[in-house]
Amino acid sequence: MKQLKAKIIGNKRIAPDFYKMRLASAYLAKNSKPGQFVEIECSKGGEIFLRRPLGVHRILNDGIEVLYEVVGPGTKSLSAKTAGEYIDIIGPLGNGFFVQRTAYSAQRTAALVAGGVGVAPLVALAETLVNSSKLIVHSKRRKLYVLIGACKKGHVLCVNDLKKLGAEVVVYTEDGSLGKKGLITQGLTSLLSTINYELSTIYACGPYPMLKAISHIADSSGISCQVSMEERMACGVGVCLGCPVKAKSGGYKMVCKDGPVFDSKEIAW
Amino acid sequence: MVNLGTKIGKLQLKNPVMAASGTFGPEYGELIDVNKLGAYIAKTITLNARIGNPPPRVCDTPSGMLNSIGLENGGLDDFIKNKLPPLKRLKIPLIASIAGDDAGEFKELTRGLSKSGKIEALEINLSCPNVKHGKRDFLIAQDEEATYETIEAVRRSTTLTIIAKLSPNVTDIKKVARAAERAGADALSLINTLVGMAIDIDTKRPVLGNITGGLSGPAIKPIALRMVREAYKSTRIPIVGIGGVMDYKDAVEFILCGASAIQVGTANFINPAASIEIIDGIKDYMAKNNIREIKKLTGALKT
Ligand SMILES: Cc1cc2nc3c(=O)[nH]c(=O)nc-3n(C[C@H](O)[C@H](O)[C@H](O)COP(=O)(O)OP(=O)(O)OC[C@H]3O[C@@H](n4cnc5c(N)ncnc54)[C@H](O)[C@@H]3O)c2cc1C
Ligand SMILES: Cc1cc2nc3c(=O)[nH]c(=O)nc-3n(C[C@H](O)[C@H](O)[C@H](O)COP(=O)(O)O)c2cc1C
Ligand code: FES
């Protein structure tokens, strides 16, 4: 990890309330892994006091991208920034997804499950899975599924990017305005009951109730499952003990340092 | 030549900037050169392990933050076995921070840490607002007698430098400051966090899982400055100023109010390089103003 000033290369609105920001940093490009995050200073001193954590959305040759939803003052002020400005970043932080398990396992089929803006880090993961193991999408017995759930149409993101990678994308919306109507957990259950492939790993990122339900499904199907968790953060590096998640082994684990990616079996849901 | 050296009890510090307990850890060694600090203060430990409070534990407030960590720590044995060995490699003085339910626990902690070698001073955390202490429903630092008893018990158990960390959640800081001095504290550090709350009006619930938490950051600096000045004027021992120090100007303000050293807390989260920048800033300020020693600046407030 480093604290650095990164130049904003672009900050584009990709849907109402959703922005994609491209940041120039050879260091972050070289050192970031899918599932890691950065802590961004949204305003200098005062109003928006703490840094805001955002997942690494894409790892590029000369920088990274973050994809974020405007939900409050921090993300709002980020959305007002323009190309050419510099922002203060600490990163990359956290552990990231354990991709080897999928990439080198006997059954190289994976399902990525996103809730809303939770798709952000899964794009970096999908790119890495595809690049590190060409087989994953090109063999008849191996496949990459991405299941995206959201409340409504405008909140379903990155579908085309993922399709271009060769992933099979399934969309669910709660109001039925895009894809199938329902929760993404239904999508996962029906996928599991219909596919002929053996799933090696489920990777999930989204709101807590969704992760909990997915962890349950994974458990009862005997599939290994990695979840990317969220908690309010202060330091983002493991010193303040401010971002606990209850661990099955007793006590707490810190989302920023022990996570944000956990084996779903580690969490006391 | 500017001399940034300062003395806290028997501790000779090469500069007056330390990182506050609970806001700093070895992780920051990846971002800054920790050996540039005046001293390293470890997170408060208790005799037995504590799992801490339920989430959420932190949130933003205007110019500050609330935390309700609840002194999560692995206890004395874990500290000595797992946390201390890497800290022994530090080239700067190491200060341990301890909290307990009663004088007996403080004594046991003090004895355990006094023979460990590297530790040169103990900061006695009489003031964490996020935990219940045994049967008491007040903080030790909210009561003169309890403060006296605790510091005296620690004093009898060690020759290490003792720094009593006081709470701002009191009516009269002068009384508690004097009680700690009488009981044998070598120095005082203040302030710890102020008890506060944050509310989510959509859910009509408190933001923090623990309902209340400790307020820190620039929001508390004016209160901290006033209290440091009161403690300075009512005792003769060195004062370590804490509360909302974000840059060298804040640090100089505390020193003018009577501090011999300062601690940087919440600022670490915003800018991990803050402490290092503050050291350089104080040095430049002193050079510009022709002040040779910190001692000359301590309490130099003109009123
Ligand atoms: C590891 C991690 C990765 C994340 N990645 C992304 C991402 O890629 N894209 C994205 O849009 N969002 C992401 N989030 C959530 C994002 O951090 C919050 O939406 C953002 O901090 C909100 O700040 P705000 O000031 O706009 O909103 P406010 O709600 O006003 O924020 C108030 C406080 O609560 C915290 N907070 C609010 N929502 C969350 C949340 N869901 N998780 C953690 N803290 C929160 C804020 O950091 C801030 O301290 C991530 C969170 C974590 C922990
Ligand atoms: C997340 C967090 C954890 C803290 N933990 C401790 C602790 O373990 N022991 C202690 O004495 N003070 C603790 N404090 C208080 C700080 O050391 C300091 O007294 C206080 O935050 C005020 O200074 P600041 O405004 O510079 O942060 C903690 C503060 C924060 C924000
Ligand atoms: S945010 Fe400080 S420990 Fe995780």
User: What is the pLDDT at residue B121?
Assistant: 97
DSSP-derived 3-state class of residue A109: strand
A90, B31: Cβ pair inside 8 Å? Answer: yes
Distance CA(B17)–CA(B254), nearest Å, equals 12
CATH number of the domain encompassing residue B99: 3.20.20.70
Residue ranges of chain A that CATH labels 2.40.30.10: 2-93
Residues 51-90 of B with CB under 8 A from A: 51-52, 54-65, 67, 69, 72
Q: What number is the ipTM of this complex? A: 0.94
pLDDT tens for residues B1-50? 899 999 999 999 999 999 999 999 999 999 999 999 999 999 999 999 99
* Nearest residue (CA) to ligand 1, atom 45: A232
Closest Cβ opposite residue B59 in set A2, A232, A237: A232
CB A144, CB A136: distance < 8 Å: yes
Asked, for residue B303, whether it belongs to a domain, the answer is: no
* Element holding A115 (H helix, E strand): strand A109-115
Q: Is the pLDDT confidence value at A55 over 70?
A: yes
Total beta-carbon pairs less than 8 A apart between chain A and chain B: 96
Q: Confidence band (pLDDT; 50, 70, 90) for A141?
A: low
In a domain, B109, yes or no: yes
Chosen for mutation from A5, A27, A49, A249 (greatest number of chain B CBs closer than 10 Å) is A49
A108-230 in CATH: which number?
Answer: 3.40.50.80
Percent of chain A with pLDDT over 70: 91
Mean per-residue pLDDT of chain A:
91
Q: How many CB atoms lie within 10 A of CB B18?
A: 27
Residues 6+ away with beta carbon under 8 Å from B45: B73, B74, B75, B76, B79, B83, B96, B97, B98, B99, B109
CB within 6 Å of ligand 3 — which residues? A 233-236, 238-243, 254, 256-257
Judged by CB atoms closer than 8 Å, whether chains meet at A244 and B55 is answered as yes
Distance CA B230, CA B222 (A): 13
Q: What local confidence, expressed as pLDDT, does residue A130 receive?
A: 82
- Is the CB of B48 inside 8 Å of chain A's CB atoms? no
Of A1, A48, A242, the CB nearest to B69: A242
Asked whether the beta carbons of B68 and B51 are under 8 A apart, the reply is no
- CATH 3.40.50.80 residue ranges in chain A? 108-230
Spell out the residues 6+ positions from residue B166 whose beta carbon is closer than 8 angstroms to its own: B126, B127, B141, B173, B176, B177, B180, B188, B189, B190, B191, B192, B227, B231
Residue A144 pLDDT class (50, 70, 90 cuts)? confident
Handedness of CA A265, A266, A267, A268 (dihedral sign): positive
Model pLDDT, residue A99: 83
The helix (H) or strand (E) run that includes residue A127 is helix A119-132
* 3-class secondary-structure state, position B163: strand
Pairing of strands B17-19, A199-205: unpaired
Tokens representing B86 are 């890497």
Rounded average pLDDT over B50-78: 96
Q: What confidence score (pLDDT) does residue A135 get?
A: 46
Are A242 and B67 in contact (CB < 8 Å)? Answer: yes
CA A218 / ligand 3 centre spacing (Å): 28
**Per-residue exposure over B146-176, b if at least 16 CB sit within 10 Å of its own CB, e if not:** bbbbbbbbbbebbebbbbbbbbbbbeebeeb
pLDDT confidence bin for A133, thresholds 50/70/90: low
Query: Active-site residue numbers of B?
Result: 128
Residues 6+ apart with CB under 8 A from A64: A22, A23, A25, A28, A29, A32, A38, A56, A57, A58
Return the pLDDT at A194.
Answer: 84
> How confident is residue B138, by pLDDT bands cut at 50, 70 and 90?
confident
In angstroms, rounded to a whole number, what is the distance separating the alpha carbons of residues A239 and B268?
Answer: 10
Name the minimum distance, in Å, from the CA of A48 to any CA of chain B: 7
Which atom of ligand 2 is closest in space to residue A242's alpha carbon?
A: 1
Residue B271 lies in a domain: yes
Quickly state the pLDDT bin for A47 (edges 50, 70, 90).
confident
Q: Is the pLDDT of residue A22 over 70?
A: yes
Is the confidence at residue A103, as pLDDT, over 60? no
Return the biggest CA–CA distance within chain B.
58
**CB-nearest partner of B272 from A50, A90, A231:** A90
- Mean pLDDT (whole number) for A145-149: 95
**A94: nearest CA partner in chain B:** B27
- B209 occurs within a structural domain: no
pLDDT at A18 over 70: yes
What DSSP string describes A17-82?
A: TEEEEEEE-HHHHHH--TT-EEEE--SSSSSS-S-EEEE--EE-SSEEEEEEE--SHHHHHHHT--
Q: Is the pLDDT of residue A139 over 60?
A: no
pLDDT, tens only, B250-300 = 999 999 999 999 999 999 999 999 999 999 999 999 999 999 999 999 999
Count up the domains in chain B and report the number: 1
Q: Considering only CA atoms, which residue is closest to atom 5 of ligand 2? A: B22
* Distance from the A258 Cα atom to the nearest Cα atom in chain B, whole angstroms: 13
**Does residue B228 register a pLDDT over 90?**
yes
Tens-place pLDDT, residues B163-216: 999 999 999 999 999 999 999 999 999 999 999 999 999 999 999 999 999 999
Structure tokens at B275: 């402490």
Of the segments A137-146, A241-250, B131-140, which one has the largest average pLDDT value?
A241-250
The answer to the question of residue B57 being in a domain is: no
Asked if the structure places residue B254 within a domain, the reply is yes
* Smallest CA separation from ligand 1 atom 29, residue: A72
Mean pLDDT of A136-157: 81
CATH superfamily of A2-93: Translation factors (2.40.30.10)
- pLDDT higher than 70, residue A106: no
Does the residue B60 lie in any domain? no
pLDDT tens figures, A188-217: 999 988 876 677 789 999 999 999 999 999
Domain that holds residue B102: 6-52+70-195+217-296
Instruction: Determine, yes or no, domain membership for B289.
Output: yes
Q: In the prediction, which pLDDT does A131 show?
A: 79
Q: Helices in B170-220 by DSSP H: which ranges?
A: 173-182
Are A167 and A127 contacting, i.e. CB atoms less than 8 angstroms apart? no
